[in-house]
Amino acid sequence: MRNNSDFLFASESVSEGHPDKVADRISDAVLDTYLAADPEARVACETLVTTNQIILAGEVRGPESITKELLIEKARETVKEIGYDQEGFSWRNASALNLLHAQSAHIAMGVDSGEGKDEGAGDQGIMFGYATTETDSLMPAPIYYAHKILQNLNDLRKSSDPKGKGFLPDAKSQVTLQYVNGKPVKATSIVLSTQHEEAMKQSDIRDTLRELITNTLPEGWMCPEDEFYVNPTGLFIIGGPDGDCGLTGRKIIVDTYGGAAPHGGGAFSGKDPTKVDRSAAYACRYLAKNIVAAGLADSCTLQISYAIGVSHPLSVYVDLHNSGKDINEEKLEKVLREVMDLSPRGIRKHLRLNRPIYRETAAYGHFGRTPDLKKDNFTWEQADLVDTLRNAFNR
């Protein structure tokens, strides 16, 4: 986003019950099942969900103990956790079809390590990372608050609070913020559509959501009442996969930076960490966040590129958006290669990615999350390179 200027910027998020996010979470549940049994398993799982239908497809390589029936059971468990037990989509009786098959031997030949050859990238591609001082999480403010609103709504829906009664899993938010001199100062409009039971009154929904959003945003940031849009179509009763087909990987901007930074194009969910679409994007966020957390810049965009079957990155590019604190970007690019092994294997080891930690990533963004030390998850959000980077620049 532009520095030191006045503008409006919007980002959207979707809940864990949005059909595309149902598909993402099922795909990551499949991935976690394989990694729990074999940390070196290969998974590229795509999921389609529609009216009482769940279809798994893609390529896998893992232990024979992971049966088709087990994965269908995991898919149903995921749908149950999200909260779908509706006539048009229920964990109990949705038809489930598993079309997963063995990974291509040619891809395996290029990716696997061998005599005189390190493990190669699972595909070609460009990956981006971003960080900014706009929020404590070092995420852009519009996507941060769009996620936070839906997280709080989801917590309310699943709580014993009577205000949450009647809300259903599918929801979308959109937050537009006003920037003054490049800094966010308030919301100018907010859109929130949420699935609900038929008996709920729209006025009651609006009142509950106004309170929730006001408590989520910083004090004084709530938008004007005539720019607060709740269920703009009037009703939102039929939702989830019954209302709209869901597919893995269709919410890549929601998953990353809400449009505030570039995206390489590859989706994350359902892919094991040999796929640099996922692991290198995590590494890019990790490095960008540590650069900003170290005080070397107020914002940072990082790009890394790979070729399939090649272990080393083809390029590393850093843009500090004229916010660097007397930092030479070319030197920083060299330093990043020194402080972290950016080969697929090096990224996986550094961030400890060969573990069943991915189901939680499928909704409310892969970035800006708070690591749980007990679970050792969201390791790419840790700021443990700060001292190393400061020392490299004598800070």
- Higher local confidence (pLDDT), 362 or 1: 362
CA 285 to chain centre: 11
Strand ranges of the sheet holding 42-50, from the earlier edge strand across to the other edge: 95-102, 53-61, 42-50, 246-247
pLDDT given at position 105: 58
**Alpha carbon distance 170, 243 (integer Å):** 10
18 is in an annotated binding site: yes
Looking at residues 14-31, what average pLDDT do you find? 98
Report the predicted TM-score, pTM, of the whole model to 2 decimal places.
0.95
250 is in an annotated binding site: yes
366 is in an annotated binding site: no
pLDDT given at position 108: 53
271 is in an annotated binding site: yes
Judged against a pLDDT cut of 90, whether residue 354 lies above it is answered with: yes
Token representation of residue 262: 């570039």
Q: Identify the structural domains of the chain with CATH numbers, from first to last.
A: 7-13+141-238 (3.30.300.10), 125-133+276-392 (3.30.300.10)
272 is in an annotated binding site: no
171 is in an annotated binding site: yes
What is the per-residue pLDDT across 363-373, written as a single tens digit (0 to 9) for each? 999 999 999 98
105 is in an annotated binding site: no
Give the model's confidence band at 110: pLDDT under 50 very low, under 70 low, under 90 confident, else very high. low
pLDDT given at position 123: 81
Bridge partners (DSSP) of residue 301 are 130, 319
What is the per-residue pLDDT across 98-109, written as a single tens digit (0 to 9) for each? 999 998 655 555
20 is in an annotated binding site: yes
59 is in an annotated binding site: yes
What is the per-residue pLDDT across 33-63, written as a single tens digit (0 to 9) for each? 999 999 999 999 999 999 999 999 999 999 9
Written as one string, the DSSP assignment of 238-258 is S-HHHHS-EETTS-HHHHTTT
Looking at residues 118-146, what average pLDDT do you find? 93
| Of the candidate ranges 12-21, 112-121, 263-272, the one whose mean pLDDT is the lowest | 112-121
Strand ranges of the sheet holding 228-230, from the earlier edge strand across to the other edge: 7-14, 167-180, 183-196, 228-230
What is the per-residue pLDDT across 83-102, written as a single tens digit (0 to 9) for each? 999 999 999 999 999 999 99
With a pLDDT cut of 90, the percent of the chain lying above it is 91
pLDDT given at position 265: 84
Q: Are 171 and 243 in contact (CB under 8 A)?
A: no
pLDDT given at position 2: 76
